[in-house]
A and B are shown apart, each in its own frame.
Chain A
């Protein structure tokens, strides 16, 4: 425990800015992963335990594409599109067989794929740590805001995630397809009776969720190291986010992710060894005081 360091940071504007930005990028990455998770849960009622693997694949796809083409934009695209396809295949071929079955059975299939995917990455890219490196376009002087250091890439990352959040929020509430998705979440039988292919919707939602996780992985690739199993901690953290925010709530995912990012970033100063513990403690406190999460509806 190092409360003095935390207090010292809170008193200095430079440190405050630095820690807040780093909290924001953790939060925004978590949001992208968690919103996919919460979307899949909201519509398909499936807790996708293999979601972290999509994050991992997104990062590896982006790294390889960047190494081959040298284009950062293409790398992001490859991360997002590649995992979308993966999500679609995964849902259509495997998950669609166990809808309505025991939750444990769905969990088990996801668990199996976590094991398989980690080994596949190990075989293709090797077991050691890899790094994509910062794209040359962002190898410029960092910005100084109130004395705090903010790399330009962080701003891009936060911007992209924010755009994704807004597009997703508006798309789901305003567009026709968003309405169909929400209807399918409420009453799939009725939607299907109206002549809409629910299988397509389920596959699409899973692909969208996978794409968001893949995008998060691709965005994280320049600032994190890549390793098989990297999806794991992200998965657990995004679970905490969805549970804190309320399963199925997009706004909840955003707020939960930002809170968790800030807890991580400031917690690492005050409680360097217990940062993870703080997150779990926070989750326990939220669930005990409001069992369905901050923005969750009554438990089904």
Chain B
């Protein structure tokens, strides 16, 4: 069984009954996760560990948002990275040129992303499967080319250098390491919680229905185009959030943030962690970053090592890690019940 089939096989829990309970449960888990992450600096002075968590926040938001498209809606975007790059560049440029407070720049970036995503999405979601994948890729490369060629505005291939000003707001000084870390964690947890809400909402189940059978959804009176466009824009917003965390972290933005390989990495992260569980992409993010960091320490040929690991997942497990574990548990439970 493939990833997506595994996703289809999941039993659809009644949406309404117990929804409120689920919601409180999710909030509780989120608060606990945030408390654990935020208290980390109290126990360790390791800057490398905190940096690792910040990078996980940026890529985790990005990868999980892609899964809203790939895993939940069945839209394989090859160009999702454009919104990661757009977020980083918009935020960085607004901070550099306008000197506004950070929260305002944050909201403005989301607004810009929403407008751009709505325009691009309106064109893309009409197309199916491989054509959707390639037209998103083309838009991504179009944005990448624009960043490179509009050097007077974006800095071209040098990227946004000179650092992004990070004036303190509400007493939070992002130019300090620990506040930056805590803010990144907060954004990650908030983003994940919001995406979880979307995935578990009736709209989220509409998306699953579109993935499984778009024709049936359409017969049931669902405006498939509008639902796809909505999730495209929503996913873009969370990807841009990831881009902003990244821009804050490196204090700049670089054309690679909008290059197509970043979309490839996000797809890989999803496959690594699993697409039929909500936290799969998060697990994939941690795995990939860990893998990258360790492998680059031991060999300069990390492509070979990474490639072999991918082959192991693709040919061996045939699904992401969390999907594999989840299915194994279901299998065991069923066996235990004598089924």
Contact = CB atoms under 8 A, between A and B. Distances in A.
Interface of A: 47, 94, 97-98, 101-105, 107-109, 111-116, 118-120, 122-123, 236, 239-240, 243, 247, 271, 273-274, 276-277, 280-281, 283-284, 287-288, 291-292, 299-300
A277 B4 contact: no
Q: Helix, strand, loop or mixed for chain B's interface?
A: helix
Contacts of A101: 2, 318
Contact of A116 (B145, B260, B303): B303
Contact of B301 (A112, A123, A287, A288): A123
B58 to A, nearest CB: 21
Given A111-B268, A283-B134, A292-B131, A274 B149 contact: yes
25 contacts: A94-B311, A101-B318, A102-B2, A102-B4, A103-B76, A103-B130, A104-B4, A104-B267, A105-B2, A105-B271, A111-B264, A111-B310, A112-B307, A112-B308, A112-B310, A274-B146, A276-B141, A277-B145, A280-B141, A283-B138, A284-B139, A284-B142, A291-B126, A291-B127, A300-B129
A247 B127 CA distance: 14
Assign chain B's interface to a size class: 35 or more
B34 interface: no
Interface of B: 2-5, 70, 76, 123, 126-131, 134-135, 137-139, 141-142, 145-146, 148-149, 151, 260, 264, 267-268, 271, 301-304, 306-308, 310-311, 313-315, 318
A114 B267 CA distance: 15
Given A116-B304, A280-B138, 7 more contacts: A94-B311, A103-B76, A103-B129, A103-B130, A239-B137, A281-B142, A287-B134
Contacts of B260: 236
Contacts of A280: 138-139, 141-142, 145
**3 nearest A-B pairs in the assembled complex, by CB-CB distance:** A277-B145, A273-B149, A116-B307
A283 B306 contact: no
A283 B268 CA distance: 25
B141 A247 contact: no
B149 to A, nearest CB: 4
A299 B131 contact: yes
B116 to A, nearest CB: 14
B135 to A, nearest CB: 5
B102 to A, nearest CB: 32
A101 B127 CA distance: 22
A43 to B, nearest CB: 15
A273 B145 CA distance: 8
Given A98-B315, A243-B131, A119 B304 contact: yes
A109 B126 CA distance: 28
A285 to B, nearest CB: 10
Contacts of A94: 311, 315
Contacts of A109: 310-311, 314-315
A113 B307 contact: yes
B138 A273 contact: no
A276 B260 CA distance: 13
A287 B310 CA distance: 32
A94 B5 CA distance: 21
B267 A116 contact: no
B135 A283 contact: yes
Nearest to A299: B128
A203 B303 CA distance: 26
A97 B315 contact: yes
A239 B134 contact: yes
A288 B250 CA distance: 37
A115 B126 contact: no
A18 B141 CA distance: 28
A32 B259 CA distance: 26
